[in-house]
Chain A
Amino acid sequence: MMTNATQTDIGSLYRDHAHWLLGWLRRRLGGDGADAADLVQDTYVRLMVSGRFPAPEQSRAFLARIAKGLMVDMHRRRRLELAYREALAALPEDSAPSAEQRALTLETLARIDQALDELPSKVREAFLCSRFEGLTYSRIAERLGVSHGSVRKYMLRAAQSCLLALSEFEPV
């Protein structure tokens, strides 16, 4: 059950449960206090931004659910960073981007990754084939064993998700 947030809600949620949440996260992160502390912070920020607060008896379950989601995001982000580093390593040395460019690219890729993550795997594959391999929809339809109309529908879904994921963020 949700209630509307007030200042006191936030304060008491923090006072009563932040320490518990830190311990909860630290156990799951193998004792890594720095990551756990970051995630506690992120959990409360997420809660405040959402403006939806749990009923008192559900506070810990609710916080734990948010924290778990953030933990998964963190691992996904780290995995993406590794994959990106690996992809960069395959490039010729003189084409290596600057540190700043790398950070921007990584942010863009992370947003696309998250956008595609919520979609069926064929949508992801169609999108990657189209945008990063330059295949026509007919070729993609062949490769995925689906109709041309399906590819177009996949691409529309991917375009919608990318629009949402990228529009509030624009790299230079």
Chain B
Amino acid sequence: MSDALPGPLRQYADRHGLDSASLQAALDWQVLFWSGEQQAADRERWRRWLNADAEHRQAWDVVARMAGTLGTLSPQVARRTLERPSSVGRRRALGALAAVGVGSMLMLAGARGGFWQKAMADYRCARGEQQRFRLEDGSSLILNTASAVSVDFGQDRRRISLAPESEVALDTRSSTLKKAGPLSLALPAALLNVQGAWLTARDLGHGAGTVGVLAGGAQLVTAYPRQAAVTLNAGQQVHFDPDGLSVTPLSRQRALAWTRGVLQADRWRLADFLDELSRYRDGLLYCDDEVADLIVSGAYPLKDTDYVLESLARALPVAIHYRTPWLVRVAAV
């Protein structure tokens, strides 16, 4: 049967005047009956055990009451309420909170998918940071917050793959390789063919992404069969998602703001602003519906998101409530 009762349970038995061997046996019986695989003979053995001793009956009453309490719960409700991701770190727990979706609660990338891929990547950048790398072909690569790429430079090809929800700036014009093969930049839902170019690319999740070309050119083909390939020239950007694709003029300043550690907002809704800012900090950042449509403009330093929140509170009729450093609510004053 089972191992000896753990200490707290023995103390519990003592406190309630129960025989601890009987309590252990009663738990074993209950676990057998929960299996859904018990035989008629088990039931008969149990009956004999139960009637053999008053202490058995006492112990069984306690265990049966516990089982009865569990039985009062609606199975779907209990399942949904109690289940959680297999790893229960604080951030994941907060992720579960966000998945519930209250008001315009915004979730941070911490609990988003693709983590394994980021963990395996060749180059990565921590949340809240921007990091510069020089690749072996001499290209320069800047990673934005919580981003990762893997790099595969073979004999006749160079391929850089973005992890989901990553953002990079890549400049291949400085490549020192004399006869470098073609370079492709793979996003989760698109593939770019890059000739000596300077560009930014961001995967937005859910099969969407943006690419902006600052210099040189690139061809983009998305994962969606009905969308034609597009050629992008310097000064153009493309936004694509499963529903379509649009090319617009690129604002150089806006496209490069993050590479200088700046969040550049031009008449953004507060909810969108916080969504963007939340990429740069751990935990949850959300606002009440009544302030979601306030307008935010300006350049904000990404290094210090607490300071950014403070400045919001000075510029707008909002108050910042830190439930904890990881749980921040922006509400009307």
Chain B 72-111 per-residue mask, 1 if CB under 8 angstroms from chain A, else 0: 1111111111111011101001101100101000000000
Determine the distance from Cα of A111 to Cα of B62 in the docked complex, in whole angstroms.
17
Please judge, given known A-B contacts A86-B100, A91-B76, A132-B73, whether A152 and B324 are in contact too, CB under 8 Å: no
Chain B 1-45 per-residue mask, 1 if CB under 8 angstroms from chain A, else 0: 010011011001000100000000001101100111100000000
Determine the distance from Cα of A28 to Cα of B27 in the docked complex, in whole angstroms.
42
Chain B 44-63 per-residue mask, 1 if CB under 8 angstroms from chain A, else 0: 00000000000000000011
Q: Assess the A152–B73 pair: CB atoms within 8 A.
A: no
Q: Which residues of A contact B81 (CB under 8 A)?
A: 80, 83-84, 87, 109, 113
Please judge, given known A-B contacts A121-B87, A167-B62, A167-B66, whether A112 and B82 are in contact too, CB under 8 Å: yes
Whether a CB of chain A sits under 8 angstroms from the CB of B248 is no
Contact residue among A72, A128, A153, A155 (Cβ-Cβ distance under 8 Å from B82): A128
Whether a CB of chain B sits under 8 angstroms from the CB of A11 is no
Q: Which residues of B contact A136 (CB under 8 A)?
A: 35-37
Determine the distance from Cα of A134 to Cα of B35 in the docked complex, in whole angstroms.
9
Q: Which residues of B contact A86 (CB under 8 A)?
A: 80, 100
Q: How many residues of A contact B (CB 8 A)?
A: 55
A81 to B, closest residue via Cβ = B81
Contact residue among A78, A116, A121, A155 (Cβ-Cβ distance under 8 Å from B34): A155
Whether a CB of chain B sits under 8 angstroms from the CB of A15 is no
Whether a CB of chain B sits under 8 angstroms from the CB of A162 is yes
Q: Assess the B66–A91 pair: CB atoms within 8 A.
A: no
Please judge, given known A-B contacts A30-B324, A134-B36, whether A128 and B93 are in contact too, CB under 8 Å: no
Whether a CB of chain A sits under 8 angstroms from the CB of B320 is yes
Q: Which residues of B contact A83 (CB under 8 A)?
A: 80-82, 96, 100
Q: Assess the B69–A152 pair: CB atoms within 8 A.
A: no
Whether a CB of chain B sits under 8 angstroms from the CB of A82 is yes
**How many interface residues does chain B have, given as a range?**
35 or more
Q: Which residues of A contact B327 (CB under 8 A)?
A: 30, 75
Q: Which residues of A contact B100 (CB under 8 A)?
A: 82-83, 85-86
Determine the distance from Cα of A156 to Cα of B27 in the docked complex, in whole angstroms.
7
Whether a CB of chain B sits under 8 angstroms from the CB of A55 is no
Please judge, given known A-B contacts A84-B81, A90-B80, A134-B75, whether A117 and B88 are in contact too, CB under 8 Å: yes
Whether a CB of chain B sits under 8 angstroms from the CB of A146 is no
Q: Which residues of A contact B90 (CB under 8 A)?
A: 72
Q: What number of A-B contacts does a CB cutoff of 8 Å give?
A: 153
Q: Assess the A108–B28 pair: CB atoms within 8 A.
A: no
Determine the distance from Cα of A139 to Cα of B4 in the docked complex, in whole angstroms.
27
Determine the distance from Cα of A90 to Cα of B78 in the docked complex, in whole angstroms.
12
Q: Assess the B96–A79 pair: CB atoms within 8 A.
A: yes
Determine the distance from Cα of A29 to Cα of B20 in the docked complex, in whole angstroms.
43
Whether a CB of chain B sits under 8 angstroms from the CB of A137 is yes
Q: Assess the A87–B77 pair: CB atoms within 8 A.
A: yes
Chain A 28-51 per-residue mask, 1 if CB under 8 angstroms from chain B, else 0: 111110010000000000000000
Whether a CB of chain B sits under 8 angstroms from the CB of A13 is no
The B-contacting residues of A in range 122-149, CB under 8 angstroms, are 124-125, 128, 130-138
Known: A72-B90, A80-B81. 7 other contacts (CB 8 A): A30-B320, A75-B324, A128-B82, A133-B79, A162-B70, A163-B12, A163-B66
Q: Which 7 A-B pairs have the closest CB atoms?
A: A30-B322, A136-B36, A87-B80, A132-B79, A132-B75, A137-B35, A87-B77
29 contacts between A and B (CB under 8 A): A29-B323, A29-B324, A30-B323, A72-B90, A75-B93, A75-B323, A79-B97, A82-B97, A83-B81, A83-B82, A84-B77, A87-B79, A105-B77, A109-B73, A112-B70, A121-B88, A124-B82, A130-B34, A130-B36, A134-B36, A134-B75, A137-B37, A160-B9, A162-B70, A163-B9, A164-B9, A164-B12, A167-B12, A170-B65
